[in-house]
Structure 1
Amino acid sequence: MWDFNLGAAVGLMRKTLPFLLMRLVVYVGITLAYMLVTGIGAGIGYGLTSVGDGQGGGAFMGGAIGFGLVSAVLYFAREYLLYLIKAGHIAVLVELIQDKELPEGRSQVEHGQAVVKERFKESSILFGVDQLIKGILRTLNRMTMTISNFIPIPAIRSLVGIVNKIINVSLTYVDEVILAYNIKTNSENPWQSSKTAIILYAQNYKVMLKNAVFLMLFMYVAGFVIFLLVLGPVAAIAALFPGAVGVWTVVFSVLLAWGIKAALLEPLAVTAMMQVYFKTIEGQTPNAEWEEKLNGASDKFREMGEKAVSYVGASKTSDKTEPA
C-alpha cells in the first residue's frame, strides 16, 4: 500500500532527538507567544472599553490585534526557521539514512546547521529555492494530478478542484525532500540540483503521490487527535482572558496541535518521503521530455534554470577575483 518503512523512520526520529526537542521548544514557544500577546491585547482592549458605562467589548478586538502582531513577526521570521531548524534537521536525517556517522566534537544541531550553511551560503538562497520549488510543484499538480488520473468519468469532473486541493496539501513535504536531494548530492549549485530533483520527482510522480496522500491522511488524523487532547488544558488557560473565551480556546488549541504536529510528526513524514524518493530515483537520470514539459508549463521552472546558469557564472567570477 505504501513504499516507506515507518519503523525505520521512527528509529531515525529517535536518533535526531536533539532536533526534535529544539523543534518542540520553538513551535510550542510560538503558541505560547500567541497566547501571551493575544492575552495582553485582550486585557488592554477590555480595559479601554470598560471605562465608564462600557462593557469591555474591546477585549476581542485587542486580542485580535495581538494575534496579528505575532503573525506578522512570524511571517518575517519564517526564512530563518526554515534555514536553521528544518533544513538542519533534514541535513542530519540525510546522513543517517545513508548510514553515515555524525562527526564528534560538536552537537547534532551545530552539525546540521553547518552542513546547510555550506550548501546554501545565505538563508535567502535556501528560502528562494524553497519558494520556487513550491510554485513548480503546484504547476506540476495542475499538469498531471487531476481527477482524470484516478476516475475518468465525465459526470464527476466538477470534483477536479477538490481533488487537486487535496493533492496540493499532500505535497507539503515534497519541497523538503527536494532540499534533501541538494544535501545528499553535495551540490555546489542549489538551483541546478533542485531543478534536477524536480524532474526526477516528476517522472516518478505516481509513486510519490500515492505515498504523499497516505501520509497526509495520517497527519490529519493525528493532528485532530492532538487537538482533542490539548483542548481541555488550553480552555483552562483561555478562561483567564477577558471577553469571549470559546473563540480563543479553539484558536489556541489549533495552534498548539499544529505546533506539536510540526515539531514531532512533520519530520517523520518528511523522512518517510525521503525514503521513497531516494529509493525510487536510484539509478535514474533526468528525463529530457519532462524537462521540456516543465519548461513549457512553469515560469518558475524556467526561472530556476536561469538562476542555475547565473549562479555558475557568479561562482566563476568570484573564483577569478579571489586573491592569491
Structure 2
Amino acid sequence: MGLHFRTATDVFVKTLPFVALRIGIGLLLGAFATVYFGSVGWLGYTLLESGSISELIALGGVVLAVAIFIAAWRMFSRYVLYAVKAAHIAVIAHVVDTGEVPSNQIRFGKDRVAERVVETTVLFGVDQLVKAIVKQLTNAVVSLGSLVAVVPTLRTFVRVVARALGLAANYVDEAIVAYMFTSDEQNPWKAAKDGVVLYGKNWKPVLGSTMLIVIGMYATAFVLLTALAPIASVLADLSPAFEVVGWVVVAGTVLTIYSGVLKPWVKTVVITTFLVESRDDTPDSETADWIAGKSESFRELAGKAESEEPVTADDAHAQAADPRTVS
C-alpha cells in the first residue's frame, strides 16, 4: 500500500501560501463570528435589562440571528470557501503532475478553476455528486465487511473500521477533483466519471492510507488538546471568567491547527496518493460497470458524461440540494 508521505509533504510545503491563505480566512471568520454573536448577545442583554423587550422576543431574536448567520455561512462557503479550496486542489494537482510550482500559485489556482468551468458552483455540483458516489462505494465495502461480523468482537471491529472509512471517504472526492484538473477532458462530467473509475481501480491504497492518516490526525488533535488543557487549568485559579477565556484559547488553537494545517496536509497526501497510484492506469468498462452496480449516483454521472450534457449552474445547485450528496 503506497502512502507517499514524503512526496505529499514536499508538495504540502510547496503550497504553503494557500495553507496560509486558508488559515487567514479561518481566523477572520472566527473573529467575525465572535464579534457578531457578541454584539447580538450584548444587544439582547441590554434590551432585556432595560425592559424594552420580553424574554420571548429576545429568544426569537437569537433564533433569527443564528438563522441569518447559517444562511450567510452557506452562501460564503458555496461561493468563496469552495473557490479557495478548488484553487488549492488545482495547484496541488499541478505540482504532483508536473513537479513544477507556479510562481504565483494563488493566481494560478484561480485561473485553473476559471478555465475548467464557467462558475465555481458548477464544479461544486460535480464535486458533490462525486462525494455521493464515494460514499456509496464505501458503504458497499462496509456492507461486505458486516457479512463476516458474526461474533461481537469482530462486529465491534467492523463498526470502528466503518467509521474510519466514512471519515476517510470525505477526502477522496477532492482527489478526484484533482484528477479533473490534470485531465485533458473538457467535459467535466466525463472527467469526473474517469476519475471515479480510476478510484475504483485503486481504492484499496487510496482509502486504506487515507483511513490511517485520518486516525492519526484525530489522535494528534487529541494530543494537542490534552497538552494545551493545563493552560485553562492555570487560568481557572484566577477566576471563572479567565478559565472560560483559557478554554476558548485552547479550543481555538487546536481548531486552527486542525483545520488550517492537519486537514490540508491530509488532503495533500490523499491527492498525491491517488494521482501517483493511478498515473499508469486508464479507465475501463469493467470497473465502470462494477461501480454502476454499486452506485446510483455513478449511473447518473455516467449518463451525463455519455450524453455530453453541458454543465450549468442549475445542475450545481440541484446536486448541492440533493440529500444523497450530504456527507
Instruction: Show CA shifts across 1:6-30 (max 9, x none).
Output: 3333322222222111111111222
2:14/2:101 contact within 8 Å kept: no
* In 2: Cα distance, 1:254 partner to 1:67 partner: 21
Give the TM-score taking structure 2 as reference length. 0.78
Superposed counterparts of 1:32-71, under 5 Å: 32-51=31-50, 66-71=65-70
User: 2:308 aligned with 1:278, yes or no?
Assistant: no
* In 2: Cα distance, 1:288 partner to 1:131 partner: 23
User: 2:299 corresponds to which residue?
Assistant: 302
User: 2:134 corresponds to which residue?
Assistant: 137
* Letter of the structure 1 residue corresponding to residue 124 of structure 2: F
Give the secondary-structure state (helix, strand or coil) at the position aligned to 1:154: coil
**CA 1:194–1:209: 2 relative to 1, 3 Å:** same
Of the three residues 201, 204, 207, the one matched with 2:205 is 207
1:24/1:259 contact within 8 Å kept: yes
User: 2:26 corresponds to which residue?
Assistant: 27
1:191/1:305 contact within 8 Å kept: yes
Q: Higher relative contact order by CA 8 Å / sep ≥ 6: 1 or 2?
A: 2
User: 2:317 corresponds to which residue?
Assistant: none
User: 2:265 corresponds to which residue?
Assistant: 268
Give the secondary-structure state (helix, strand or coil) at the position aligned to 2:280: coil
User: 2:315 corresponds to which residue?
Assistant: none
Question: 1:255: Cα distance to partner?
Answer: 6.1
**CA 1:57–1:224: 2 relative to 1, 3 Å:** farther
Give the secondary-structure state (helix, strand or coil) at the position aligned to 1:98: helix
Give the secondary-structure state (helix, strand or coil) at the position aligned to 1:4: coil
Instruction: Show CA shifts across 1:224-262 (max 9, x none).
Output: 3444577658x98xxxxx9xx95x986886566334422
User: 1:320 corresponds to which residue?
Assistant: none
**CA 1:314–1:99: 2 relative to 1, 3 Å:** closer
Instruction: Show CA shifts across 1:23-63 (max 9, x none).
Output: 111112222222111211221222233336x9x99999876
**CA 1:20–1:285: 2 relative to 1, 3 Å:** same
Give the secondary-structure state (helix, strand or coil) at the position aligned to 2:170: coil
Question: 1:152: Cα distance to partner?
Answer: 2.9
RMSD value, Cα = 3.6
User: 1:91 corresponds to which residue?
Assistant: 90
Superposed counterparts of 1:79-228, under 5 Å: 79-104=78-103, 107-146=104-143, 148=145, 152-156=148-152, 159=156, 160=158, 163-227=161-225
2:7/2:272 contact within 8 Å kept: no
**CA 1:44–1:220: 2 relative to 1, 3 Å:** same
Give the secondary-structure state (helix, strand or coil) at the position aligned to 2:185: coil
Question: 1:110: Cα distance to partner?
Answer: 0.6
Question: 1:185: Cα distance to partner?
Answer: 1.6
Question: 1:214: Cα distance to partner?
Answer: 0.9
Identity of aligned residues (%): 27
User: 2:321 corresponds to which residue?
Assistant: none
Instruction: Show CA shifts across 1:51-101 (max 9, x none).
Output: 36x9x9999987676455333211122222354211111111122223443
Instruction: Show CA shifts across 1:188-220 (max 9, x none).
Output: 111111111112212222222210111111221
User: 2:73 corresponds to which residue?
Assistant: 74
> How many residues of Structure 1 are paired with residues of Structure 2 in the alignment?
302
Give the TM-score taking structure 1 as reference length. 0.79
* In 1: Cα distance, 2:248 partner to 2:187 partner: 41
* Runs of at least 5 residues in structure 2 that lack an aligned partner in the other structure: 236-240, 312-327
